[in-house]
């Protein structure tokens, strides 16, 4: 499961003589964010110009996520809000996971919508745009049929220094709680050569940090059979001009020792691995259909802890899965202590359409799920306070991401993906996108504080 991002509104470049305008609103994970970058680039190439508000747009697109509970209800509420703009001649489209999940039912509940397109059909956007411009409805719903990835040279990247590259789309794991295999299609990987070509192009454009994406990124299988995931990581990391390479999200079943060996061997590969566990109980993991046991997961943790560099390990945890006992939950708490995560993304179980968990009995009451979530977060906060405190007095290189004018501090991120806020001497202010050494002077549960070293 990729971590959820806040709603993203893109305000990118205009064409020279704009005739048609569009607005995109994006919810969901990093893959949705990057999908929108590719959708935006495609629309601009097709003669559209991006605008900053729905009022300015001829075409309004809503890129959706179905991971969270009641996601489809939120989509229809938003579409109802948009309906008031129908009289202005605007067209509306629903993209992403909810589009694939609900399909043509969206037309029934929101007749003003002209386009419904799941992520596996984005490669057909140019043809679908022609249809809706002609006053027709357009639908793109592959439903696990396609073997194609959405590759485009027209990606409109929102960050000039850090960029995403999707290397594998879809999911074949079918975890009992997860709708993604039904909304993003089957696993399909790009060739390693196409990934490397895109990475080199990004370096030529000035990018210094690249993040490889996939619903299960380490399940990557080179379509041309040339490179394993670890070998692809190594090859990307060795491209001249690249300073950092990240990857997310890994599935424990496909996480091999060779990934840790690659991180040890290639300095540009970041000291951070996000490895979702979901539960510390083997019994619950089996009910979740996660395809590994607690012991197998801890074996992978041991590989990382034996690495030459200290790796920051983060994870996802779900509480309140049907049938999770207090003893099962206690095993999750004990796993947090045993691993010592640097951060976790936490979720309460919520039933999702079409998933096997819908058939399970012994649902956990909402109040109890909330209680367990609070206990889990409190436990993790204690762990993070201790873990972050040990960095006081050390030095880290940060990529400068921006400046907090209110606090007169710069914002940076370490190789371990930790936020490090720091001050800089007057006259030596760093540039956004640069890499600077920072001496760490204080810690908080979720961030570090320091002073730039000159």
pLDDT, greater one: 282 or 78: 282
Query: For residue 120, what is the domain's CATH number?
Result: 3.40.50.12160
In 3-state terms, the chain is what percent helix, strand and coil (to 5)? 35, 25, 40
Secondary structure string (H, E, C) spanning 405-454: CCCCEEEEEECCCCEEEEECCCCCCCCCCCEEEEEEEEECCCEEEEEECC
* Band (366; pLDDT cuts 50, 70, 90): very high
Q: How far apart are CA 62 and CA 54, in angstroms?
A: 11
Both tokens of 100, joined, read 């694939």
Phi-psi region of 210 (alpha: psi -120 to 50; beta: other; left: phi over 0): beta
Number of H helices, E strands in the chain: 13, 19
What is the pLDDT at residue 13? Answer: 42
What is the pLDDT at residue 178? Answer: 95
> Where do we find the tokens 């496909």?
254
Residue 20 sits in the same domain as residue 70: yes
Residue 301 sits in the same domain as residue 284: yes
Average pLDDT over every residue of 47-71: 91
What is the pLDDT at residue 12? Answer: 44
Q: How far apart are CA 374 and CA 251, in angstroms?
A: 26
Query: For residue 326, what is the domain's CATH number?
Result: 3.80.30.20
Query: What angle is formed at CA 230 by the lines to CA 228 and CA 235, rounded to 5 degrees?
Result: 90
Residue 360 sits in the same domain as residue 249: yes
pLDDT, greater one: 28 or 373: 373
Residue 283 sits in the same domain as residue 335: yes
pTM of the model: 0.90
- Count structural domains, the chain: 3
Give the domain-ending residue among 355, 387, 419.
Answer: 387
Q: How far apart are CA 128 and CA 112, in angstroms?
A: 16
Q: Is the per-residue pLDDT at 210 higher than 80?
A: yes
Average pLDDT over every residue of 347-361: 93
pLDDT in tens, 377-398: 999 999 999 999 999 999 999 9
Q: How far apart are CA 286 and CA 246, in angstroms?
A: 29
Residue 145 lies in a domain: no
Residue 379 lies in a domain: yes
What is the pLDDT at residue 213? Answer: 96
Q: How many Cα atoms within 13 Å fall on the side-chain side of residue 173?
A: 29
pLDDT, greater one: 68 or 53: 53
What is the pLDDT at residue 15? Answer: 40
pLDDT in tens, 12-38: 444 444 479 999 999 888 889 999 999
Residue 153 lies in a domain: no
Average pLDDT over every residue of 75-88: 87
Average pLDDT over every residue of 147-169: 90
What is the pLDDT at residue 158? Answer: 85
Residue 223 sits in the same domain as residue 365: yes
Q: Is the per-residue pLDDT at 9 higher than 60?
A: no
* Band (85; pLDDT cuts 50, 70, 90): confident
What is the pLDDT at residue 2? Answer: 54
Residue 364 sits in the same domain as residue 263: yes
Residue 409 sits in the same domain as residue 383: no
What is the pLDDT at residue 381? Answer: 98
Q: How far apart are CA 78 and CA 99, in angstroms?
A: 13
Residue 90 lies in a domain: yes
| Secondary structure element (H or E) that encloses residue 195, with its range | helix 192-204
Q: Is the per-residue pLDDT at 442 higher than 60?
A: yes
Residue 232 sits in the same domain as residue 95: no
Average pLDDT over every residue of 404-416: 96
What is the pLDDT at residue 144? Answer: 81
Residue 151 lies in a domain: no
Asked if 156 and 10 count as a contact pair (C-beta separation under 8 A), the reply is: yes
Q: Is the per-residue pLDDT at 68 higher than 80?
A: no
Residue 262 lies in a domain: yes
Q: Is the per-residue pLDDT at 335 higher than 70?
A: yes
What is the pLDDT at residue 6? Answer: 42
Task: Output the average pLDDT for the chain.
Answer: 93
What is the pLDDT at residue 404? Answer: 94
What is the pLDDT at residue 354? Answer: 87
Residue 117 sits in the same domain as residue 208: no
Give the domain-ending residue among 344, 359, 387.
Answer: 387
pLDDT in tens, 102-152: 999 999 999 999 999 999 999 999 999 999 999 999 999 987 888 888 888
Residue 156 lies in a domain: no
Residue 187 sits in the same domain as residue 303: yes
Burial-class residue 438 by CB neighbours within 10 Å (0-12, 13-18, 19+). Answer: buried
Residue 324 lies in a domain: yes
Average pLDDT over every residue of 221-228: 97
- For residue 439, the Cα-to-chain-centroid distance in whole angstroms is 30
Q: Please state which of the ranges 157-161, 174-178, 332-336 shows the lowest mean pLDDT.
A: 157-161
Q: Which domain holds residue 193?
A: 162-387
Q: Is the per-residue pLDDT at 4 higher than 80?
A: no
Asked if 219 and 256 count as a contact pair (C-beta separation under 8 A), the reply is: no
Residue 212 sits in the same domain as residue 89: no
Residue 130 sits in the same domain as residue 28: yes
Q: Provide, rounded to the nearest whole percent, the portion of the chain with pLDDT above 70.
A: 96
């Amino acid at each position: 499961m990729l971590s959820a991002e806040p709603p993203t509104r893109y305000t990118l470049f205009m064409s020279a003589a704009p005739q048609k305008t569009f607005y995109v609103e994006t919810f969901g994970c990093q893959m949705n964010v990057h999908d929108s970058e590719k959708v935006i680039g495609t629309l601009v190439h097709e003669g559209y110009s991006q605008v900053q508000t729905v009022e300015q747009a001829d075409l309004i697109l809503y890129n959706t996520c179905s991971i969270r509970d009641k996601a489809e209800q939120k989509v229809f509420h938003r579409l109802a809000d948009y309906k008031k703009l129908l009289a202005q001649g605007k067209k509306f489209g629903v993209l992403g996971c909810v589009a694939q999940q609900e399909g043509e039912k969206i037309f029934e509940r929101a007749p003003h919508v002209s386009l419904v397109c799941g992520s596996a059909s984005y490669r057909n956007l140019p043809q679908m745009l022609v249809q809706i411009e002609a006053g027709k409805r357009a639908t793109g719903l592959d439903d696990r049929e396609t073997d194609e990835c959405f590759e485009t040279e027209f990606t409109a990247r929102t960050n000039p220094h850090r960029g995403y590259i999707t290397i594998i789309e879809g999911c074949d794991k079918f975890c009992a709680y997860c709708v993604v295999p039904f909304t993003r299609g089957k696993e399909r990987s790009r060739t390693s050569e196409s990934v490397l070509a895109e990475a080199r192009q990004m370096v030529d454009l000035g990018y210094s940090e690249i993040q490889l994406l996939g619903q299960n990124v380490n399940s990557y299988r080179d379509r041309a059979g040339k490179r394993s995931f670890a070998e692809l990581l190594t090859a990307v990391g060795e491209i001249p001009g690249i300073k950092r390479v990240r990857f997310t999200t890994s599935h424990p079943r496909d996480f091999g020792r060779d990934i840790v060996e690659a991180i040890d061997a290639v300095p540009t590969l970041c000291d951070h691995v996000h490895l979702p566990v979901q539960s510390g109980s083997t019994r619950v993991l089996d009910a979740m259909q996660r395809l590994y046991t607690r012991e197998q997961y801890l074996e992978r943790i041991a590989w990382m802890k034996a690495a030459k560099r200290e790796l920051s390990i983060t994870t996802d945890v779900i509480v309140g899965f049907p049938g999770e006992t207090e003893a099962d939950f206690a095993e999750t708490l004990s796993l947090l202590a045993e691993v010592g995560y640097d951060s976790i993304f936490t979720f309460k179980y919520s039933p999702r359409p079409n998933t096997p968990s819908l058939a399970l009995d012994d649902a956990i009451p909402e109040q109890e799920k909330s209680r367990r979530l609070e206990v889990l977060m409190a436990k993790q906060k204690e762990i993070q306070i201790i873990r972050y405190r040990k960095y006081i007095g050390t030095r880290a290189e940060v990529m400068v991401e921006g400046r907090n004018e209110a606090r007169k501090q710069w914002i940076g991120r370490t190789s371990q993906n930790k936020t490090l806020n720091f001050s800089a001497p007057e006259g030596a202010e760093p540039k956004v996108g640069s890499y600077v050494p920072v001496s760490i002077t204080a810690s908080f549960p979720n961030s570090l504080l320091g002073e730039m070293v000159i």
